[in-house]
Amino acid sequence: MSWADSLTVLYEDNHCIAVDKPSGWPTTHYDGTEETFDRVVKSYLKEKYAKPGQVFLGIVHRLDKPVSGVLLFARTSKAAARLSQQFREGNIEKIYWAILEGEVKPAAGTLEQWLRKDPSTGRVEVVKAHHPDAKPARLHYECKAFQAGLTWIELRPQTGRRHQLRAQLAHIGHPIYGDRKYGSRFFFGSAIALHARSLTFLHPIRHEPITLTAELPPNWRGRFAQLLKPR
């Protein structure tokens, strides 16, 4: 099977490419010891366009390894610089769907906390604002459904901190389903129930807004069929 057959491409032109990342894949490599999704996308581009040399692919944001959904890359250095700036300045709208343990109340609201990474555990924790290395984290949420001890929720982060959604939700007593690292009681294979549902950005050259949406993965439709039923 070719790379063209194995990728779900959500958008592609000469400047950027967006794909639907499955859970279980790291976005990019750190030490070169694990296959990563950026390499899959590079192989796809190399095969599709018969490129003889190295393929440029700019990493402008990341999704955690167990998270699925919309993942955007740049295909030129100019596009990479402009898209990275949009992410840094908070000009990109990100919507996530998650399944949380427990019934979230109130059903809509905003979480504003301060986060820091604990180097001894690799976990991100909520701390006081004056704590060394603390960074502000803010997200809006709205519950979509509740059933059998689980809440389907829509999340709109306003900041892009490492493990932000996972840490903030666990801190209020509602860890993401399957996120054992942050206290979930459940196992969900190589995934956690966090999905990058949509991404809206300005095209780096044409400056027009583009919204991309990723369908829910099959493991969600199997595990959470009743919760996700239209109401």
Q: Which residues are catalytic?
A: 64
Cα–Cα distance, 3 to 11 (Å, whole number): 16
Task: Extract long-range pairs of 31-34: CB within 8 Å, 24+ residues apart.
Answer: none
74 in Cβ contact with 60 (< 8 Å): yes
- CA nearest neighbour of 13 among 221, 224, 210: 210
Q: DSSP alpha helices (H): ranges in 89-231? A: 164-171, 218-223
| Sign of the CA dihedral with 162 first, then 124, 26, and 29 last | positive
Which residues on adjacent β-strands are paired with residue 198?
Answer: 95, 213
User: Cβ atoms within 10 A of the Cβ of 206, count?
Assistant: 10
Q: Rounded to the nearest 5°, which phi and psi values hold at 214?
A: -110, 130
Q: CA-CA-CA-CA torsion for 7, 100, 163, 56, nearest 10 degrees?
A: 10
Tokens of 154: 């829509």
For 202, residues 6+ apart whose C-beta sits below 8 A from its C-beta are 86, 91, 208, 209, 210
